[in-house]
Structure 1
């Protein structure tokens, strides 16, 4: 259970949220959708509820187990196998590792005393492992992982060999494994920030069923409307205009109707109050002209001010980031050429011998199952990583690459919004940068905010802002619509439709593929190149 007391959330001098009393409360059976525009404070509030950071004011009481999935992966030992990472949720990984060590001694040593000692230790460890339900848990772990698109061959690989999407699914699997004894029943409070990022359609469907039957508490940030509608029985709406949270004790579909009704009520109340206040001020102005009526005039004017001050703020049109990709710089016929690209992690081959010619203005989609190397391919093309084979990447005449990393690797979390932008665009005049950032909804105190404290959607907007000023003629886009609210997502899709440079796109978003209108497709890990057809569309969500 989680209960807040007079919670106040700030970033710098900006107040994101005030929640008086114990307004925000999570109890077993509550499945809460935490919603609001990008930058309203959802991720910051979730961190506070999870105990990752302290609130500016008030306090948070927590009872029972909490499973927190942040937007950014935070796995520890990257040499650990994926299976052990998930099993670590119940402390079974250490016992399993110790058992394997003793078994190795038993099979290799010629010293009888060492063998007898290893047998004794193995027996004690196995007894403890069995008492904790280790063998059943191992099967349960494998089942959860498989449902999240992590097959057995992945589980034995070290985390460092996995893609960013696979690592995030391992983190989600660990949290869900900790929260259930196999039946889905649990007292654990789950705090999930965009849990469907990097999941395919089948995995999202399984997660939807899992969360709908979860008996502990749940708070979830998601832009997946279908997921919110299927799972949530309560909604917390963070209003960026008023800096307050509205609590709706209903499902997501009914919440949308109730919120529309609330906004309509506020508009009516304000219109009526403005009419009355205007009449009072007009009368006060008339009375104020007479010295004998000055006191009465002041009282009328004060009453009008109180009347307006007691009203809730009325929502004005939400600010929208004006996203448009740059006018590409001139370049040759084939600005980017890649031949024989190969990537290995130890003895594991991700892909080999991939060839790709990116012609001026061409539009390419990269498809493949999770872990096939889509993100890795973009990193090789961007020069972030090097190929392990004899091939390589050759830039043609006038090449200017703009790279958008799905894990926001291009953003320094310790630098401010302004410092990150200046570093990414050193040749652009500062006033031009300020105008650009303003169009992406970064201005005033927001410019001095550390980038590491931004929400996922805000980081996406910051990274896109750097692309806009780059005049890139080849865009390498890795999941550019992740973490965006619906309005911002549509802005990105419109930008894709109108951009005239070349694009190499990795995405799970069918809308992004339709907006791009691709000409070609590269299917990994084989590196097969083909002309685009709608037959490939069904692979997008499964990729």
Structure 2
């Protein structure tokens, strides 16, 4: 169980959440919703023990599993399988068993006997912790999240960002925790994995808080909704499922609007009467009392909820470039003996739109990083044409310097802009006042997305390399991003699981990895988007 007792949440001096108390008990499946930057991620970090409230306390009983938006945990040299098994402390046991097996194969007779005894001890420990059934359970969870045995046998450092995130999700689900805190768990999942996760969470017996912009997931899973209203710094708690919550919010807003209109009409009548009475000295006190009644009447009703602001995203006209600003010749990438893709050729013409498809682990992000000049190919080369100016959006926000402020990150993207112009652009992306002085490391995933996109806007790039640009965005912000992609006049190379992003791009061509097949876009490829 999880209890919040009068906790107040702040980001620096800015109030995100007024003091509130609530609890999460077994069977609660809570959807925590609200616009980007409202404080959802900050609140879950505090609940998980990775942050401290401005006041109040969090009481935890039982075990807790927390999936942050950008999990960076684990030794890069550790096998993916061991990272998952480590949730129940089985990674050390399995490693000792593997080491004992190696010694049994190569050592002297006495060394083999010692290794056999060590293997037996480790195996007994494994059995006490659930035995080989636990290992099979971990493998089953991983497989359902799109992580086959081949991936589980690789070191974490060789995995893509999407694979690393799914390893962390598998680890948390395998942990058998009493309470789960999941921040955007469907990021990087294919359609089949999302379907499986929905079913898993529907049957989860413990307490659950989930942050997600996947409406279908919320509709299928949650039985309570916590709406974090950024304008009021309060949580509205609805003890009902998603569809009833949406209906209730609409009903509540209509009621508030009706009650406010009635109160304003009556208050106007009272004030008009008070104004008439003020003309007579003998009725001055009565007039004052009547005015107070009007003020009290207005203060007794709830006002209409202020609509959340939406970032205004538009990519400016790109800088001029040659006919083919970007080419890749014979690009290959390997990590040791693991071959990701081989001999891939591509040519990006001025204004062309290309989507890269492929199963998770096929090298889509790696290809973008190579084209952006961030990572070197194992063989082949990238050629930049006349006037080429690249803008790279990284799904894990690696282009941000998390130690520097929002303002300083923006200045680095376009050193020629003055402070006033930079702040104006940041304001259109909803960074105002003291927000621009915050270090990027404290931003939520949605805020990091907005900052990274703002940096692209001021970069004057004519080739955009976009890796999952709609992740972590609320529906209104996502619509703005899709419209910006739709109207951008430069070249775009897009990696996404979001069919709406591909529809907005209207691609000319598709590159399918790892085979490197380049083809004209057709709707036949559309079904591969969510499988990717």
TM-score interval, smaller chain = over 0.9
> Structure 1 residue 422 and structure 2 residue 420: aligned?
no
- Per-residue Cα deviation, 1:86-106 (whole angstroms, up to 9, x for no partner): 000010000111122222222
> Structure 1 residue 159 and structure 2 residue 151: aligned?
no
Q: 2:134 aligns with which of 132, 137, 158?
A: 137
> Structure 1 residue 56 and structure 2 residue 45: aligned?
no
Name the CA distance, whole Å, in 2 between partners of 1:520 and 1:369.
18
Name the CA distance, whole Å, in 2 between partners of 1:224 and 1:463.
22
Q: 1:521 aligns with which of 504, 507, 510?
A: 510
- Per-residue Cα deviation, 1:426-460 (whole angstroms, up to 9, x for no partner): 11122111111111111112112222222211111
Name the CA distance, whole Å, in 2 between partners of 1:295 and 1:463.
60
CA shift in 2, pair 1:398/1:422, >3 Å: same
- Aligned counterpart, 2:106: 108
Name the CA distance, whole Å, in 1 between partners of 2:422 and 2:193.
41
- Aligned counterpart, 1:257: 247
Equivalent positions of 1:396-411 (< 5 A) are 396-411=385-400
CA contact (8 A) 2:19 2:56 kept: no
Unaligned residue ranges in structure 2 (runs of 5+): none
- Aligned counterpart, 2:325: 335
Give the deviation of 1:289 after TM superposition: 5.1
Q: Which moved more, 1:378-387 or 1:278-287?
A: 278-287
Equivalent positions of 1:294-443 (< 5 A) are 294-389=284-379, 391-443=380-432
Q: 2:70 aligns with which of 63, 72, 90?
A: 72
> Structure 1 residue 170 and structure 2 residue 193: aligned?
no
- Per-residue Cα deviation, 1:371-410 (whole angstroms, up to 9, x for no partner): 0000010001111111111x21111111111111011111
Name the CA distance, whole Å, in 1 between partners of 2:54 and 2:413.
32
Name the CA distance, whole Å, in 1 between partners of 2:150 and 2:114.
33
- Aligned counterpart, 1:536: 525
Unaligned residue ranges in structure 1 (runs of 5+): 180-186
- Aligned counterpart, 1:17: 17
CA contact (8 A) 1:241 1:313 kept: no
Equivalent positions of 1:235-254 (< 5 A) are 235-254=225-244
Name the CA distance, whole Å, in 2 between partners of 1:379 and 1:352.
16
- Per-residue Cα deviation, 1:483-527 (whole angstroms, up to 9, x for no partner): 111111111111111111100000001111111110111000111
Name the CA distance, whole Å, in 2 between partners of 1:407 and 1:103.
38
- Per-residue Cα deviation, 1:197-222 (whole angstroms, up to 9, x for no partner): 00000000000000000111111011
Q: Which moved more, 1:342-351 or 1:204-213?
A: 342-351
Equivalent positions of 1:160-309 (< 5 A) are 160-179=157-176, 188-288=178-278, 293-309=283-299
Name the CA distance, whole Å, in 1 between partners of 2:235 and 2:19.
6
- Aligned counterpart, 1:90: 88
Name the CA distance, whole Å, in 1 between partners of 2:398 and 2:163.
16
Give the deviation of 1:297 after TM superposition: 4.2
Q: Which moved more, 1:314-323 or 1:506-515?
A: 314-323
CA contact (8 A) 1:365 1:504 kept: yes
Name the CA distance, whole Å, in 1 between partners of 2:303 and 2:228.
14
Instruction: Please tell me the root mean square deviation across aligned C-alpha atoms, in Å.
Output: 1.6
Name the CA distance, whole Å, in 2 between partners of 1:84 and 1:72.
20
Helix, strand or coil for the counterpart of 1:503? strand
CA contact (8 A) 1:474 1:503 kept: yes
- Aligned counterpart, 2:3: 3
Give the deviation of 1:273 after TM superposition: 2.1
CA contact (8 A) 2:403 2:441 kept: yes
Name the CA distance, whole Å, in 2 between partners of 1:311 and 1:13.
29
Name the CA distance, whole Å, in 2 between partners of 1:82 and 1:366.
26
- Per-residue Cα deviation, 1:209-253 (whole angstroms, up to 9, x for no partner): 000001111110111111110111111111122211111111101
TM-score with structure 2 setting the length? 0.97
- Per-residue Cα deviation, 1:105-129 (whole angstroms, up to 9, x for no partner): 222122x443332222221111111
- Per-residue Cα deviation, 1:37-72 (whole angstroms, up to 9, x for no partner): 111111111111111101112111111111100000
Name the CA distance, whole Å, in 1 between partners of 2:304 and 2:230.
12
Give the deviation of 1:303 after TM superposition: 3.9
CA contact (8 A) 2:25 2:206 kept: yes
CA contact (8 A) 1:27 1:217 kept: yes
- Aligned counterpart, 1:39: 37
Name the CA distance, whole Å, in 2 between partners of 1:236 and 1:48.
16
Helix, strand or coil for the counterpart of 1:203? helix
- Aligned counterpart, 2:444: 455
CA contact (8 A) 1:5 1:60 kept: yes
CA shift in 2, pair 1:101/1:490, >3 Å: same
Name the CA distance, whole Å, in 1 between partners of 2:403 and 2:300.
41
Give the deviation of 1:293 after TM superposition: 4.7
